[in-house]
Amino acid sequence: MDSKTTHFGYQEVPLEEKAGRVAEVFDSVAARYDLMNDLMSLGIHRLWKRVALERSGVRRGHQVLDIAGGTGDLTEQFVRRVGPKGRVVLADINASMLKVGRDRLIDKGAGAHVEVVQANAEALPFPDNTFDCITIAFGLRNVTDKARALASMTRVLKPGGRLLVLEFSKPTHPVFERIYDQYSFHVLPRLGSLIANDADSYRYLAESIRMHPDQDTLKSMMETAGLERVEYTNMTGGVVALHRGLKL
């Protein structure tokens, strides 16, 4: 792969094409994204997000940015935590996902308390030192330039603020990894075909997980972006890892 190309799943594509291809995937799956998440993870994604929420340190009056927030499940919980004097911004590069998230938050009674912003994680449209906490859950692997995105997130964090990255990662046991591979490349596309009428998008999602940096590599990338005290916690045998870093 040269400097002008990047990965789209297992394919090598020109840099300028990746964002559009990722957008097509999420345009396709947006309407059934929550249902598919439940089916794909057997509902465990809710537990993973609950752990992220508890480790966010978010409290009343905080300003929170939920990047790649999609359907707004984390955003809704942050609204409850920050209270009327806090601020929560739901950001996503994909308009289809944002519409689903905004509608869902309105239905839940939280829509009036959330700012919805279409934004690219690589160039966040916020001033320096704005947010007490930034989260990106299952979104970093779809970003074209992950290092640039991490630097952008660090820039808009306040000193003392924290970034949490919840993402699929590398299973820690070889046997479990083989089982996980079978599930990802055979079961997920079939589920995608049956539920969302789109096997290709879910095949891409499985491939994008394999191309994402492993736990230690992502830790190093966060440190390079300027974050301190970076640590990660493996969940479900390393299928998912929660990385957390502070801006000092």
Which residues are part of a known binding site?
Answer: 71, 92, 120-121
Q: How many CA atoms lie within 13 A of 31 on its CB side?
A: 5
Provide the annotated binding site for S-adenosyl-L-methionine: 71, 92, 120-121
Does the CA dihedral 150-211-66-59 come out positive or negative?
A: negative
